[in-house]
Amino acid sequence: MSSFNSIQSIIRDVQFGISVTVVEPCNLYECKIGDDSFIGPFVEIQKDVVIGDRCKIQSHSFICSLVTIGNDCFIGHGVMFVNDKFTSGAPAGGKAAQWKPTTIADHVSIGSNATILPVQICSHVVIGAGAIVTKDITEPGVYAGNPAVLLRKI
């Protein structure tokens, strides 16, 4: 005999701006989503996340706690944000004091399947698909690779 636990997708305690579109199923909880933003299906946005105005978060993306995304940003399909740098050699688990924040400024586009570690990214940046951002980005431009490097200024 088999057994299973079923957990439904949830949208709870979200502060929505005006004209936000959410395509379910998705998990959104204890976060803030700005005006005219779009959240695609199979997205998880955790507590203490702030999404700015006019942002598009495409399907299958994961935005963990302590991420702030500015205005007019695009987050491609399957983008993963990480807030645990495994500084103790193991996952921090529920130890939120060990998690680190990520700040994405305005007009940033992040390509599909990119991974964003706890960093700060300035305005007017394009992150290529599949890139892994391991360090702060302080200069506008196009970045790609593992680790992500500046390909050209914009």
Read off the pLDDT of residues 52-98 as tens digits, 9 standing for 90 and up: 999 999 999 999 999 999 999 999 999 999 987 766 666 666 656 67
Comparing 2-6, 22-26, 29-33, which segment has the lowest mean pLDDT? Answer: 2-6
Over residues 135-143, mean pLDDT: 98
Over residues 128-147, mean pLDDT: 98
Structural domains of the chain in order of their starting residue, each with its CATH number: 11-85+95-153 (2.160.10.10)
Question: In what helix (H) or strand (E) does residue 133 lie, and over which residues does it extend?
Answer: strand 132-133
Both tokens assigned to 49: 């996340």
pLDDT at 1: 59
Mean pLDDT, the chain, integer? 92
Is the model's pLDDT at 8 over the cut of 80?
Answer: no
Over residues 107-126, mean pLDDT: 98
pLDDT at 86: 67
pLDDT at 94: 64
Is the model's pLDDT at 7 over the cut of 80?
Answer: no
Over residues 44-56, mean pLDDT: 97
From 9, 43, 16, 18, select the one nearest 30 (Cα to Cα). Answer: 16
pLDDT at 21: 98
pLDDT at 84: 75
CA count, 13 A, side-chain hemisphere, 14: 21
CA count, 13 A, side-chain hemisphere, 127: 36
Contacts of 153 (CB under 8 A, 6+ apart): 139, 140, 141
Comparing 30-39, 76-85, 115-124, 129-138, which segment has the lowest mean pLDDT? Answer: 76-85
Question: In what helix (H) or strand (E) does residue 33 lie, and over which residues does it extend?
Answer: strand 32-33
